[in-house]
């Protein structure tokens, strides 16, 4: 099990990672009262209203990625309603960023008090003018859900800027070690103003093929999922290594997958060991617990444990990017809690279901000077009000237990469909409801997703041919059965 640092103050975690699936399955009613009993489709998606609105939007903004326009007044619970009146079971939830469904009463009432409304209206520059209760809010909300072993937290606006600032902490640690405690030299201070050495050192972060970490410059340099994210953008020439690609079913390919772990760990260590000789030392490693955007690629406990051991061996920072996996969809608050790590990661970044971006980290990574991890807002206290309501709801309704129980049904149903339609489906995998399955081709995947939507199920794709499922934490067994039946209907019609 993961060990807590003995020198850290005790933090009362609101959310235990212990779950009770049996309790979750006894919930016979939807968590959000009034949600539809099933999908209802009135027309194709996108329908005429969505097409009209997209045409209007296109006059002032290039956003050809829009799938459809939603009616957020009518969307409820697990169901998203579009402007044409189609009620769809949402298995994608705004790219995995809706924690407890649409229009949940706990969120709708979060700003009912005058004090909460003033927080929303008077948004502060938290790095210079925080409110009197800010430190207590961070303790009560952010640290109540902190990954075990991490007691430092800085909120941010999104996943990309969370990773960008995490990279800075990596580089600061490396340079502090080189300086051996001395202050900045005049040459360092002057040269950094024109992006030259020694003030601007040539340092790097190791990332992995298939990873996605954001669209700002350093985060994009560590992103390797789709060319369209990166093409034409000047980026630093940072190293990239292999993330394991397993053969499924896992239980039938133990030897091959262990060899894959060993191969990928050896490549990562080689890159780190040689980085100094190549003139661009690696100061840290960034890795997702599950490579979501890149195709829902999983790593074993051995892989993540081995990666941590390599980071310790070379005294570099181990960063786990939980932007998409954090907040409970794998059945634990943080996916890396499944990995039985020897110690907590050095940094954990988050966003999406946590409703605010940010990073948790170990105390030794705290910058020694002010203004080094900073922007105008450094997060948003209004988001903590919403997150507080989410975390209390997760605990009250045992939504982690529900996610585990429903995930078991979802995963077993996908495996059953794979066994019955092996010509179309393969590689079922998942933790909790964070599940995926591959189609035989990318074209098939796209066709299946389109037909699912026509039947009232909105799911997502990732990687070359994967269907990825990202329901809210209130997704229950009968919702899983609706999805599985609709997927079967689509497969039968192929």
* pLDDT, mean over the chain: 94
CB 356 within 8 A of CB 380: yes
Listed in sequence order, the residues at least 6 apart from 143 whose beta carbon sits closer than 8 Å to its beta carbon are: 11, 13, 151, 153
Q: Which of 137, 352, 353, 383 is catalytic?
A: 352
Listed in sequence order, the residues at least 6 apart from 309 whose beta carbon sits closer than 8 Å to its beta carbon are: 342
User: Would the CA dihedral through 254, 255, 260, 262 be positive or negative?
Assistant: positive
- At residue 13, the pLDDT reads 44
Closest by CA to 261, choosing from 279, 247, 277, 275, is: 247
Report pTM. Answer: 0.94
Q: Take residue 63 and report the two structure tokens written for it.
A: 């956003």
Specify whether 243 is catalytic.
no
Specify whether 212 is catalytic.
yes
- At residue 15, the pLDDT reads 53
CA atoms in the 13 A half-sphere facing the CB of 404:
17
Specify whether 438 is catalytic.
no
**pLDDT level of residue 27 (50, 70, 90 thresholds):** low
Calpha distance 162→386 (Å, rounded): 19
- At residue 1, the pLDDT reads 37
Q: Which of 40, 200, 376, 441 is catalytic?
A: 376
Q: Which of 172, 208, 212, 483 is catalytic?
A: 212
Specify whether 93 is catalytic.
no
- At residue 7, the pLDDT reads 37
As a dihedral over the C-alpha atoms of residue 322, residue 325, residue 329, residue 334, rounded to 10 degrees, the angle is: -30
Task: Report phi then psi at 427, rounded to 5.
Answer: 60, 45
Per the omega criterion (within 30 degrees of 0), is the bond before 249 cis?
yes
CA geometry: angle at 435 spanning 433 and 440, to 5°?
A: 155
Find the range with the poorest average confidence among 3-12, 101-110, 369-378, 455-464.
3-12
Residue 290 clears pLDDT 70, i.e. is over it: yes
Over range 123-146, report the average pLDDT.
97
**pLDDT level of residue 284 (50, 70, 90 thresholds):** very high
Calpha distance 137→468 (Å, rounded): 34
Q: Which of 82, 151, 261, 321 is catalytic?
A: 321
């Amino acid at each position: 099990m993961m060990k807590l640092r003995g020198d850290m103050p005790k933090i009362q975690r609101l959310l235990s990672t212990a779950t009770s699936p049996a309790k979750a399955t006894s919930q016979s009613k939807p968590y959000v009262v009034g949600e539809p009993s099933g999908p209802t489709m009135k027309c194709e998606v996108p329908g005429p209203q969505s097409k009209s609105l997209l045409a209007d939007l296109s006059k002032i903004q290039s956003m050809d990625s829009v799938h459809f326009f939603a009616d957020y007044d009518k969307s409820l619970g697990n169901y998203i309603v579009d402007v044409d009146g189609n009620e769809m079971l949402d298995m994608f939830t705004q790219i995995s960023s809706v924690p407890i469904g649409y229009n949940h009463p706990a969120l709708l009432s979060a700003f009912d008090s005058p004090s909460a409304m003033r927080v929303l209206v008077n948004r502060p520059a938290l790095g210079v003018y925080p409110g009197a209760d800010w430190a207590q809010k961070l303790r009560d909300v952010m640290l109540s859900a902190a990954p075990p072993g991490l007691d430092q937290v800085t909120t941010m606006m999104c996943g990309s800027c969370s990773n960008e600032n995490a990279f800075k902490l990596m580089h600061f640690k490396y340079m502090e070690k080189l300086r051996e405690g001395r202050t900045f030299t005049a040459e360092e201070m002057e040269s950094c103003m024109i992006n030259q050495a020694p003030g601007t050192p040539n340092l790097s972060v190791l990332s992995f093929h298939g990873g996605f970490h954001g669209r700002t410059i350093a985060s994009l340099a560590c992103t390797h999922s789709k060319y369209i994210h990166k093409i034409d953008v000047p980026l630093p020439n940072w190293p990239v290594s292999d993330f394991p690609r397993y053969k499924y079913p896992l239980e039938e390919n133990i030897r091959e997958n262990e060899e894959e772990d060993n191969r990928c760990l050896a490549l990562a260590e080689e890159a780190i060991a040689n980085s100094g000789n190549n003139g661009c030392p690696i100061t840290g490693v960034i890795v997702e617990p599950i490579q979501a955007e890149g195709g829902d690629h999983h790593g074993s406990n051995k892989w993540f444990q081995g990666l941590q051991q390599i980071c310790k061996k070379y005294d570099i920072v181990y960063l786990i990017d939980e932007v998409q996996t954090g907040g409970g969809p794998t059945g634990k608050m943080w996916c890396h809690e499944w990995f039985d790590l020897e110690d907590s990661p050095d940094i954990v970044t988050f966003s999406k279901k946590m409703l605010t971006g940010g990073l948790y980290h170990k105390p030794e990574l705290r910058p020694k000077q002010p203004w080094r991890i900073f922007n105008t807002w450094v997060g948003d206290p209004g988001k903590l009000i919403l997150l507080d309501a989410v975390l209390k709801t997760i605990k009250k309704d045992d939504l982690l237990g529900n996610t585990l129980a429903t995930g078991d049904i979802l995963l077993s149903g996908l495996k059953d469909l794979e066994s019955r339609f092996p010509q179309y489906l393969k590689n079922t995998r998942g933790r909790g409801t964070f599940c995926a399955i591959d189609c035989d081709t990318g074209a098939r995947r796209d066709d299946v997703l389109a037909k699912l939507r026509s039947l009232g199920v909105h799911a997502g794709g990732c990687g070359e041919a994967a269907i990825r499922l990202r329901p809210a934490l209130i997704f229950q067994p009968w919702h899983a059965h609706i999805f599985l039946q609709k997927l079967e209907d689509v497969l039968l019609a192929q």
